[in-house]
Amino acid sequence: MNKEILLGDEAVGLGAIHAGLSGVYGYPGTPSTEIFEFIEQRTRKGGNVHAFWSTNEKVAYEEALGMSWAGKRSLVCMKHVGLNVAADAFMNSAITGTNGGLVLAVADDPGMHSSQNEQDSRYFAEFALIPCLEPGDQQECYDMIFDAFELSEALRVPVMVRLVTRIAHSRTAVDTREPREQNELKPDKQIRKWTLIPVNARVQYAGLTEKQPELVQRAEESPANALDLRGGTGVIACGLAGNYLFENLEPDHDYSVLTIRQYPIPPEKVRALLDRVDDLLILEDGYPLVENRVRGLFGLEGVHIRGRMTGEVPRTGELNPDIVRKALRLEPLPTACDAAGDLSNRPPALCKGCPHTDSFRALNDALEGFDDPQVFSDIGCYALAALPPLEAVHSCVAMGASIGMAAGAAHAGYSPAVAAIGDSTFSHGGITPLMSAVQQGVNLNVLVVDNSTVGMTGTQRSMSTGTTLDKIILGTGVSEDHFRVIEPIPRNHEQNVAVLQEELAFDGPSVVVARRPCIEAQKKRAH
């Protein structure tokens, strides 16, 4: 047995390698990125694991499903909102079922450190009728990957491992095991299973529902769901929340505690707890999923249930030991100082010399003269252009949404309809809306800021940059006259403003590519 210092994400990655992984798939997204990166680095020099970033999460999921079809173990990782993109493949993979073990590691971001929302992926697991494991620490991140693959192969369904930011991005020493061999190539040629035309899908779906009692049974028996019956006040602590609970309790505390780390919710264990307590606090780092299920529509006779829905725990935001302390009605610990209330904030900003600064300065100047023009933007470093001093973009919703929203606004008669999107986000979700807009002849202006990389998440490989990007854009049908490339450097400012102004004046779809590498990526490439 070895010990390694690992992030939760890295522990998931190493666990997967040691559990006999054959392929890892994903699209970068905080806080999930390091799972893939760890596997990629660890297996670069051998190990025969396919590790290549995918164009988006849906593609990644489908590739992982294909690997499973072929009999091998595959891991697909993404952030919570990435699962929205992959949802079509994900939901239907539960219906087809799997062959080789298929594990979805999805990292939620309660508190929205780097995300647009804090949706709770456990709902997706419940929605798809598959098991979900929720590690409470980094050692469990490693260990639970083995369990997840075994569960997947035993039940022939995909298994979700749900992380949250604080698990994903926290480091500790992890004990590792002997690696397991990879599976043999053994394709699953049961055509009716994989061909979800209605006549087959109905059978498959019925089969999935028939598996549910076994999922529940396994959750009841799992040591991950530990019940410790003591006094009449109870706590259900899900995943990481258990850590915040035990941080605040002495070992000889008098609470009856159920920790839940494997779903579906184990009803017998919950019932045993409810039989013991008349006051129950439910702690979840995410939505009040367990809380709502346990309370039901009308509450429970004889048990007072507290949690996010009753205000003892804030309805939104991530948990921390102080919130849990308060919910336990314990006195706050004494501190040396009060909070520094009047401190200047230090928000993130574009790097010094970032190409986006020049691109958006040019766009701002080109739009001068329009009455309060709004720019639809997208997910990436350039979303920081929404903040002072640039204040150049006015929306950031979903991967690729800049183009679709600009098109919709143009349909409604809004002009100028401007979309700003990065090269990698374009390949992820921007191609199809551009194709739509071009085919419809919409009067919209797209600015693709091509920095040759996925900047925000740490400069991963972009799928569509340089000439590949140009060919894709022209391939959507944009006219060559209204496809322009500029280099966003301070010296070119006037000239770039002029190009943008010309295209803004054109009545039809136009695309301007502002091309200059991310300076962080350049630094890395120089190494």
CB of 168 to ligand SF4, least distance (A): 20
Q: Is 488 helix (H, G, I), strand (E, B) or coil?
A: coil
Residue 172 partner contact from other proteins, ligand SF4, none using kind-dependent CB cut-offs of 5 to 8 Å: other proteins
Positive or negative, the Cα torsion across 204, 101, 57, 168?
A: positive
Write down the H helix ranges in 55-131. 57-69, 80-96, 122-128
Q: Is 343 helix (H, G, I), strand (E, B) or coil?
A: coil
Tell me whether residue 156 or residue 325 sits nearer to other proteins (CB atom).
325
Residue 451 partner contact from ligand SF4, other proteins, none using kind-dependent CB cut-offs of 5 to 8 Å: ligand SF4
Residue 294 partner contact from ligand SF4, other proteins, none using kind-dependent CB cut-offs of 5 to 8 Å: none
Q: Does 519 bind ligand SF4 (CB under 6 A)?
A: yes
Contact status, residue 320 vs residue 113, Cβ threshold 8 Å: no
CB of 128 to other proteins, least distance (A): 27
Distance between CA 292 and CA 122 in Å, rounded?
Answer: 13
In the range 356-385, which residues lie near ligand SF4 by CB under 6 A?
356, 381
Which residue in this structure is represented by tokens 């999921």? 61
Residue 519 partner contact from other proteins, ligand SF4, none using kind-dependent CB cut-offs of 5 to 8 Å: ligand SF4
Distance between CA 437 and CA 406 in Å, rounded?
Answer: 9
In the range 392-451, which residues lie near other proteins by CB under 8 A?
none
Residue 343 partner contact from other proteins, ligand SF4, none using kind-dependent CB cut-offs of 5 to 8 Å: other proteins
Q: Which of 330, 304, 312 is nearest to 250 (CA)?
A: 330
Q: Does 3 bind other proteins (CB under 8 A)?
A: yes
Distance between CA 216 and CA 228 in Å, rounded?
Answer: 20
Question: Which residue from 339, 368, 412, 507 is in contact with other proteins, where contact means CB under 8 A?
Answer: 339
* DSSP of 356-408: HHHHHHHHHHHTBTBSS--EEE-SSGGGGGGSTTT----EE-STTHHHHHHHH
Q: Does 87 bind ligand SF4 (CB under 6 A)?
A: no
356, two tokens: 């986006």
Helical packing angle, 198-221 and 80-96, nearest 10°: 110
Q: Give the x/- contact pattern for other proteins in 303-322, rule: CB under 8 A.
A: -----------------xxx
Distance between CA 410 and CA 412 in Å, rounded?
Answer: 5
Q: Which stretch binds ligand SF4 (CB under 6 A): 128-136, 158-166, 500-508, 516-524?
A: 516-524
Question: Which residue from 349, 498, 499, 519 is in contact with other proteins, where contact means CB under 8 A?
Answer: 349
Distance between CA 74 and CA 247 in Å, rounded?
Answer: 35
Q: Does 243 bind other proteins (CB under 8 A)?
A: yes
In the range 302-361, which residues lie near ligand SF4 by CB under 6 A?
350-351, 354, 356
Q: Does 193 bind other proteins (CB under 8 A)?
A: no
Tell me whether residue 199 or residue 333 sits nearer to other proteins (CB atom).
333
Number of CB atoms found within 10 A of residue 159's CB? 28
Number of residues that bind other proteins (CB under 8 A): 52
Q: What are phi and psi of 454, to 5 degrees?
A: -95, 95
Q: Does 455 bind ligand SF4 (CB under 6 A)?
A: yes
Residue 356 partner contact from ligand SF4, other proteins, none using kind-dependent CB cut-offs of 5 to 8 Å: ligand SF4
Q: What is the DSSP letter of 316?
A: S
Residue 518 partner contact from ligand SF4, other proteins, none using kind-dependent CB cut-offs of 5 to 8 Å: ligand SF4
Residue 347 partner contact from other proteins, ligand SF4, none using kind-dependent CB cut-offs of 5 to 8 Å: other proteins
Please give the C-alpha separations between residue 352 and each of 24, 452, 459, 460, in angstroms, as whole numbers: 34, 17, 16, 20
Q: Report the interface residues with other proteins, using CB under 8 A.
A: 3, 5, 7, 30-31, 33-34, 113-114, 138, 166-167, 169-173, 240, 242-248, 320-322, 325, 332-340, 343-351, 381, 384, 456-458
Q: Report the interface residues with ligand SF4, using CB under 6 A.
A: 350-351, 354, 356, 381, 451, 455, 518-520
